[in-house]
Amino acid sequence: MTTHDPNLQRGLDPTDKAERVKHYALNMEHELGVIAHSCGVPEPRGLRRYHARIVGDDGRSSPPDELYPDVDIREAAE
């Protein structure tokens, strides 16, 4: 893969890309921790669907269960 665009060339350096992905993952982990704590759970693995709300185009928020109900995989396989 090649490019003459200097901005795109930065993305071709594996060492730089690895460092950028590492920072992205660490920042994501930190932000998930912030969200978890704001929901009253000590760590992200404690988050459940009822902690989330989905905001529609009309600005109304709904729990995920209303928009995407749980599916029993045993029933879905039949």
- List, for residues 11-40, the tens digit of each pLDDT value: 777 888 889 899 999 999 999 999 999 999
Q: Is the pTM of this model over 0.85?
A: no
44 CB burial (10 A radius; 0-12, 13-18, 19+): middle
Alpha helices in the chain (DSSP H): 6-9, 14-38, 64-67, 73-77
Q: Say whether pLDDT at 4 is over 70.
A: yes
Q: Which pLDDT score is estimated for 1?
A: 60
